[in-house]
Amino acid sequence: MKKKIGLLPLIIIMMAFLIIPLIIMVIKSFKLDGIEVFSLDNYKEFFANKYYYESFINSMIIGLFSAVLGFIGAYIISYSLLGLSFRTQEKIITISNLAGNFAGIPLAFSFIILLGNAGVLKMIIPLLKNFNLYSWWGLSLTYMYFQIPLGILFLYPSMREIKKEWKESADILGASNFYYWRKVVFPFLKPTMVSTFIILLANGIGTYETAYALTGSNINLLTIRISALVAGDVFAKPNMGSALATIFGAFMVIIMWLSQRYNRKEENLEKEY
Amino acid sequence: MKKNIRKIPLIIFGIYFIIPIIGTFLYSTSTKWDNSILPKDFTLKWFLELFKDTAFIQAVARSFVLGLVTSMVILIIMIPTLILVRLYFPKVDRILQSIVLLPYAIPGVILVTALLGTYSMLSIPMFIVLVGALFITLLPITYLGINNQLKLINIGEMIDAASTLGASMVQIVTKIIIPNIRLGTTLVFLMVFSASFGEYMLTNLLIGGRFETIRIYMMRRMNENGHLASAVMILYFVFLLIVAIFVFIINNKQKKRYIEKSKIEEVNKQKLYGRKEDLENVFNS
């Protein structure tokens, strides 16, 4: 009993700053702004107002785009890393994490210097003249700067577990490279790959700082829309913001849950064999 | 040949990584840079101007306070809790494992919405809410960092051994736990500190301009004077670099210690088994 009291501080903090606020947020999302009456109108508004559902779709597109590119990038980099000496690998991982920390305002600003409307690289390289930093490609290029390191952070430790002996055995048994990858490497990495992709997706959709510093409020993204609704001075509609955040959160939780169930199913199948 | 092909992605990634930083650096050391490969002049006047700006000094001080308070609160609460969980509540550990990953699934903007809805009407200072929010978002780093550490030194066995030998709780904490987790705790401290030092979204949305931290300062300056803003970013990058170097060094130290420990264990095991074999031989003969 005495020992259980020791867990109280953590439980209190989780309750005060995560669980209870989330519950209150969900409740508020069912209330109208101003008059605080229960209703479903905030949710109806989401589907009726182009401004709102478009922000969701836009964020999905950029989230998916940057997650796919970031995932491929992280896989290729991790694979290339494994060919180097152990010490070099460690150093590059440190640098990669450093790149991840540079995300946000500094990252957005340096890309504006280089590739913005009067960007230096645009002046030097004519090929880039028509490149629009504030487009999907531009945003994705910027997002990759932190998506790839984040992907490496999760993928690389698992990829390091792949033993050289597996490849050797596969070679001896006459398996082709692709067959080896499909039958040995892929099943081994699949759970990590799924969860890494989900984390990248969540991160891509949830990015606020970089997007805000890069485009201001010009691109209609979910995070920027929510923050304007809950913290804006002029157009504050906290309950509508809560509804958007609840939809976003529910979407993320469902995806997480599906991916975990999928991974667990695979595990069970393996056990049966 | 094949090895070299494998290096190409790394080189491309390296270039992609380094160019924005070089660009920012050149921008921060020039008065004007528009249509040439390199700027035409080199100056440190933006850095000098920066150090004369009291708003900048104050912003650094605020970020520093925020980082320090947050990391202290996190360490003081999380270290005892995780030791307790590891020793007595393995079931709680399994629940924690999935809970600490929540911040990855629930992006900061949702947390901000929830916290603003809950606390904006109450008279609790928003600084406390901000520290709480950082506590939640930094849970994955904290949990993984401290737990890896506890696993490495096998805290359970140590405490068992000490209490069998009659050590008091105070002795256990000061003589055994603290010296053993010093390295790992420093590591977690560095990561938590640098993360909360450079936090933007939570700070900006929860408190806003009333509490101008370094990133909020950057954002304001970015729209006023790009050269000055890039000077701040270069200094910030140097700060990150120093933290990264420290993390790297401490990480290596910790690993070395672990390898030494496992070598000793290996030798002991061999001795043990050796003796066992000898005994078996004796019995068999």
* B31 and B61 part of one domain: no
Of A59, A73, A63, nearest to A149 (Cα)?
A: A73
The answer on B167 and B222 residing in a single domain is: yes
Residue B277, token pair as written in the block:
């074999």
Q: Kindly state whether B237 is in contact with chain A, defined as any CB-CB distance less than 8 angstroms.
A: yes
pLDDT in tens, A99-146: 878 888 989 989 988 888 777 787 777 777 778 888 888 888 899 999
Residues B44, B46, B52, CA angle at the centre, nearest 5°? 110
Q: List % helix, strand, coil for chain B (3-state, nearest 5).
A: 85, 0, 15
Residues B77 and B12 in one domain: no
Q: Looking at this predicted complex, what is its ipTM?
A: 0.87
CB contact under 8 A, B107 and A206: yes
Tokens of A187: 């099943």
What are the phi and psi torsion angles at A266 (to 5°)? -60, -45
Query: Does one domain contain both B19 and B68?
Result: no
Is A116:A110 a contact under the CB 8 Å cutoff? no
CA distance A93 to chain B (A): 10
Evaluate whether residue B118 is within a structural domain.
yes
Inside any domain, residue B277 = no
CA–CA separation, A98 and B130 (whole Å):
24
Check residue B113 and give its pLDDT: 92
Task: Please determine, for residue A67, whether its predicted confidence score (pLDDT) is greater than 90.
Answer: yes
Do residue B145 and residue B235 come from a single domain? Answer: yes
Within 8 A by CB and 6+ apart from B193, the residues are B67, B68, B70, B71, B243
Q: Which residues of A touch B195 (CB under 8 A)?
A: 101
B87, B195: one domain: yes
Residues B255 and B140 in one domain: yes
Cβ–Cβ contact B72 with A under 8 A: no
Report CB contact under 8 Å: A223, B109: yes
What pLDDT, on a 0 to 100 scale, did the predictor assign at position A5?
83
Instruction: State which residues form the domain around B13.
Output: 1-42
Calculate mean pLDDT across residues B52-70: 92
- Cα–Cα distance, B6 to B239 (Å, whole number): 32
Q: Which two tokens stand for residue A165?
A: 């002996």
CA-CA distance, A251 to A110, in Å (whole number)? Answer: 33
pLDDT of residue B32: 74
- The answer to whether A249 contacts B218, with C-beta atoms less than 8 Å apart, is no
| Residue B272 pLDDT greater than 70, yes or no | no
- Find, among B166, B167, B190, B278, the residue nearest to B239 by Cα: B190
Q: Is the pLDDT of residue B284 over 70?
A: no
The packing angle between helices A50-81 and A136-160, to 10°, is: 40
In a domain? residue B279: no
Rounded to whole angstroms, how far apart are CA atoms B263 and B269? Answer: 10
Contact B66, B128 (CB under 8 A): no
Is B20 among the domain residues?
A: yes
Q: Do B230 and A110 touch (CB under 8 A)?
A: yes
Are A94 and B244 spatial neighbours (Cβ–Cβ below 8 Å)? yes
Mutate to test the interface with B, among A42, A77, A110, A224 (most CBs of B within 10 A): A110
DSSP string, B203-225: HHHHTGGGS--HHHHHHHHHHH-
User: Any bridge partners for residue A38, and if so which?
Assistant: A31
Asked if A25 lies within 8 A of B21 by C-beta distance, the reply is: no
Q: Each residue of A203-256: pLDDT tens digit?
A: 899 898 999 888 877 788 999 999 888 887 666 888 898 999 999 999 988 888
Verify whether the Cβ–Cβ distance A208 to B109 is below 8 Å.
yes
Count structural domains, chain B: 2
Work out the minimum CA distance from B112 to partner chain A, whole angstroms: 8
Contact across the interface for B118 and A199, Cβ inside 8 Å: no
The answer on B78 and B214 residing in a single domain is yes
Residue B11 lies in a domain: yes
B101 and B188 in a single domain? The answer is: yes
Instruction: Answer yes or no: is B9 within a domain.
Output: yes
Q: How many residues does chain B have?
A: 285
B133 in any annotated domain = yes
Q: Residue-wise over B193-213: b if at least 16 C-beta within 10 A, else e?
A: bbbbbbbbbbbbbbbeeebbb
Q: How close is the nearest chain B Cα to the Cα of A206, in Å?
A: 5
Q: B247: domain CATH number?
A: 1.10.3720.10
pLDDT at residue B241 is higher than 60: yes
Indicate whether B37 and B156 sit together in one domain: no
User: Which residues in chain B have their CB less than 8 angstroms from residue A16's CB?
Assistant: 132
Whole-structure pTM value: 0.86
Give the pLDDT confidence score for residue B114 in this predicted structure: 92
**Is the four-CA dihedral B137, B140, B143, B145 of positive or negative sign?**
negative
B117/chain A closest Cα distance in angstroms? 6
Asked whether residue B275 is domain-assigned, the answer is no
Q: Tell me, yes or no, whether B32 and B122 share the same domain.
A: no
* B121 and B18, same domain (yes or no): no
Question: B96 pLDDT exceeds 90?
Answer: no
- Contact in structure between B193 and B253 (CB atoms under 8 Å): no
